[in-house]
Chain A
Amino acid sequence: MSETNSRPAAGARIVLRDVTKTYPGQAGPAVDSFSMDIAPGELIMFVGPSGCGKTTTMKMINRIIEPTSGSITIDGEDVLSLDPNELRRRIGYVIQQIGLFPHMTIAENISVVPKLLSWDKKRTRDRVEELLAVVELDPKTYAARYPRQLSGGQQQRVGVARALAADPPVMLMDEPFGATDPITREKLQTEFLRLQEKLSKTIVFVTHDFDEAVRLGDRIAVLSERSQIEQFDTPANILANPANDYVSQFVGHGAALKRLGLIPVNQATLGPAVPVRGAIEVGINDSLRNALDLLVLSGGTPVAVVDAHGRVVGSIDIERISAVLGAEIVPSALTGARP
């Protein structure tokens, strides 16, 4: 085992200062004076409508697009003064179309960056096996296959493995799950969250799907035209207190429900234990959204809350859920729960 294989490199701090991109021949800038501070290990979501400049902003971090002005630093190092090719080898990059090279096997695709970094064969091979295992693809089955022989979801996992190959501290992801069907997408998101828990890379993740942003992000930047930041905060805060009409519009209906999806049952003050009726029970670590779902099924009578061992530790009802959010949100939450 080589040194980088044993412990993954944790994330780096990314600081953008007044980053601006103006394309020649266009009146206004595509990205206008964008500033942001990203802590090491944070998963930042850029959300906004198409054409708002979110992808352009992200692509300036690895200089696929060169900023017109402003500064970008990664761990204090000025990105614009580095050789762009060497810079990119230290930044994982996943694009929506995945971009696996069709004439290379899965193993060769994952080895691209290690080869550019002149790793020796054994180290590269070990790393490929390790990464395929990380994204839950059996190396024996998949290493020698070509991308065409994999399903969309499998290709996307290889795309993530390829971006992780040289264990970069920073990852840029451009709607990586955008082209997959809803079921695969949810599965990939869950896997991705679990992976990030272990790796804690600094990730900039672009999406136009607000629900995906809520599900994955540590913080969400809601962007409008020219990549203006309308609000930059945690998912819970954006859902609870949208900064303006633009953000509320983006959050859409059912904000309370989305918030409940982020809060575990143990955050609520539980009521007295009740017997489990008709197998309707909710785990203490499940989300309040699940609890509400069960309450709809139970007809509003309190639902038993069980711990990891299946022991009833209390009960939950509508009032106790709304107490977590603040009472005024209850009516809309109920509206949202009814199909």
Chain B
Amino acid sequence: MTVQASRDLATAFGTASNRRGRYFSFKRIGTPVVIVVVLLALYWWLSTLALDSIELRTLNWDYLLERTFEHLRLTVVASAIVAVLAIPAGIALSRIHSRAVHAIVFGIANVGQSTPAIGLVILLAIVWKLGFEVALVGLVAYSILPVLRNTLVGLQQVDSNLTEAARGMGMRPLQVLAQIELPLAIPVIVAGLRTALVFCVGVATVATFINAGGLGDMIVNGLKLQRWPVLITGAVVVSCIALTIDWLAGLAEDLLKPKGL
């Protein structure tokens, strides 16, 4: 595969320079640099402060790592559930040509996204219970729309001549889906997942209100107790996680994009 790829690059010179441009773009290198610089600056700033006992209870490595872990777990599990639910649903929708069905499904997904996440999570907590699972449901409801929409759009934008050629060669419908449609739709689907992941990082901060942990704890505590270093640390770390995930997803997008496009 790699031999082939390098030969492709060698044969199509224009392509080669395009790709090189993308690999070394500012976004590729710049984002991680910015993240590292911001975190180092935060660390330096905190180390110059004389922290009181309340601040010290949260501004230590154990506490910080635990909140970060909780936050990441919520984000990753919610996104995985979204992928498992929304991609098959999007595929199913692409096989159904009824506009009414599309309207109903997207109506529901829209409600999930337009309802403020905090309201949904707290309502769920009132009627159900507190904790991780409830936060998860809230996150999934909030971030399912982009993946669903992108899966459908990604499949719909595949040139109908290609699917006809595939059928004309004797591929069964599932083979057309697996070998032609899905590979060509992958860039769009992954872009949807990327959006969902970034949504999740942000919205997972509301988990604190229903006792599900995460970096929201630091932000809310910092506010309540008027300890700005705590609040700022929480906010900066959440932002850096969002940027990191977006950056990683961007890399995945480039890697998963079928060659030849």
Contact = CB atoms under 8 A, between A and B. Distances in A.
Contacts of A88: 167-170
Given A102-B184, A146-B259, A64 B164 contact: yes
A23 interface: no
A85 B168 contact: no
B166 interface: yes
Nearest to A104: B260
Nearest to A162: B169
Interface in B1-26: 4, 7-8, 11-12, 15
B127 to A, nearest CB: 47
Interface in B150-205: 159, 161-162, 164-172, 175, 180, 183-184
A99 B165 contact: yes
Nearest to A89: B170
Contacts of A95: 161, 164-165, 168
Residue from the set B162, B164, B260 with the largest chain A CB neighbour count within 10 Å: B260
B100 interface: no
Residue from the set B12, B161, B165 with the largest chain A CB neighbour count within 10 Å: B165
Interface string A50-86: 0000000000001010000000000000000000011
Contact-residue size bin, chain B (C-beta under 8 Å from the other chain):
20 to 34
Contact of B170 (A98, A103, A113): A113
B18 to A, nearest CB: 12
A85 B161 contact: no
Contacts of A36: none
B255 interface: no
A93 B8 contact: no
Given A64-B164, A95-B161, A104-B260, A149 B15 contact: yes
Interface string B123-164: 000000000000000000000000000000000000101101
A64 B171 CA distance: 12
Name B's interface SS.
helix
Nearest to A103: B258
A98 B171 CA distance: 17
B261 interface: yes
B169 A89 contact: yes
Given A62-B168, A95-B165, A101 B15 contact: no
A116 B171 contact: yes
Interface string A11-55: 000000000000000000000000000000000000000000000
A144 B260 contact: no
Contacts of A149: 8, 11-12, 15
Contacts of B162: 99, 101-102
Given A103-B183, A103-B261, A116 B175 contact: yes
Interface in A98-112: 98-105, 112
Contacts of B12: 145, 149
A321 B220 CA distance: 99
A311 interface: no
B252 to A, nearest CB: 17
B168 A103 contact: no
A97 B161 contact: yes
A121 interface: no
Contact of A144 (B8, B166, B170): B8
A122 to B, nearest CB: 19
A147 interface: yes
Contacts of B7: 144
A108 to B, nearest CB: 9
A172 B164 CA distance: 13
Contacts of A141: 11
Contacts of A86: 170
Residue from the set A93, A99, A116, A172 with the largest chain B CB neighbour count within 10 Å: A99
A85 B170 contact: yes
A116 B170 contact: yes
Interface in B247-261: 258-261
Nearest to B162: A99
A87 interface: yes
A64 B168 contact: yes
A99 B161 contact: yes
Nearest to B12: A149
A270 to B, nearest CB: 49
Contacts of A112: 166, 169, 171
A93 B169 contact: yes
A288 B87 CA distance: 64
Nearest to B4: A144
A87 B175 CA distance: 16
Contacts of B180: 101
B260 A105 contact: yes
Contacts of B183: 103
**Shortest Cβ-Cβ A-B pairs, 5 listed:** A99-B165, A146-B260, A89-B170, A103-B258, A88-B170
Given A147-B260, A149-B8, 12 more contacts: A85-B170, A85-B171, A89-B170, A93-B165, A95-B161, A95-B164, A99-B162, A99-B166, A105-B260, A113-B170, A145-B8, A145-B12
6 contacts: A95-B164, A98-B165, A101-B165, A102-B260, A113-B169, A146-B260
Interface of B: 4, 7-8, 11-12, 15, 159, 161-162, 164-172, 175, 180, 183-184, 258-261
